[in-house]
Amino acid sequence: MSYLLCGIGKRLQKKLSSEVNPMILSETAFTVFIVFGIVGGVIGLATLVFLLISEKEREVMHIAKRKTELEMLLKEMQLSHLASQIQPHFLFNSLNTVSSLIRIGKYEEATEAIHGISDLLRHTIREEQDLISIEEELSYVGLYLNIQELRFGKRLSWRYELDERIRCFKIPVFMIQALVENACKYGIEPQLGGGEVAISAYLNNHTLYIDIANTGTRIQEEWILQFERWKQEGIEADRMGIGLKNTHQRLKHYFAERAELLIQPWSEGTRVRVMITEVREG
């Protein structure tokens, strides 16, 4: 009897073992499946978030790039507008010279002036750069002053000095020419006896100086104050020409706080000074 009960017990234990073990295995597999599902979901969610953030960053970067491009385009348009103001201003003054020569019967000089204007305009049309060397700019200024000599005759004399160390330094095209026009208009023209325009470009303690000085009319202190107010606060001045304003704006665009434009009384008249700091030789 006891033998029979022992046999039944062993068979029951074996049966229970065979029925329980698969259940335990299935629960383990289910647990592993759940864990992998959760981990996979977290990874998937993290990947999705990363992609969304990356897409957002790309969108922000694209918008920032477009904004920068538009700002640069706007600046280029503004500079083109400034340059376009200077060139007609020069042409108008030069044609006035021709008209004056014709009016007083100096036809040969008028013809020579027309040829000079043509040469200068050819240089202007070919010059597509925004910045040119001081040496090149002074060659254009020489052509312009040759034309003005025909108009003023012995009333105008001019000279320039160029420091060899900075002859290749790049400045905005027509910059010196615009300031020389200003000197002729406000300094030389009103004087019966005329005067001299002196241009000097030199380097001192890593600062570039370009001086355009004219004898004759000496600038009034009130005009200097008006110009300084315009630079600081944007208040328009009555006696400010296009040349001065445009030159200041273009200098600030290319050289920012390194550049300054000053109008100063001079012992014999008026001087306009351009200063650009942190300039190296050569």
Instruction: Provide the pLDDT for residue 164.
Output: 95
In this predicted structure, what is the pLDDT of residue 8? 41
Place of tokens 């992609």: 51
pLDDT at residue 9 in the model:
46
Question: What superfamily would CATH give domain 84-276?
Answer: Histidine kinase-like ATPase, C-terminal domain (3.30.565.10)
- For the entire predicted model, the pTM comes to 0.67
Angle ∠(266,272,276) on CA atoms, nearest 5: 125
Per-residue pLDDT of the chain (282 residues; tens, 9 = 90+): 444 334 444 444 444 444 444 444 455 555 545 555 565 665 665 666 566 666 656 665 655 565 566 556 555 545 555 555 556 666 777 777 788 888 888 888 888 888 887 877 777 666 567 889 999 999 989 988 988 888 888 899 999 999 999 999 999 988 999 899 889 988 898 888 889 999 999 999 999 999 999 998 788 888 888 888 888 877 776 656 677 888 898 899 899 999 999 999 887 899 999 999 999 876
pLDDT at residue 243 in the model: 75
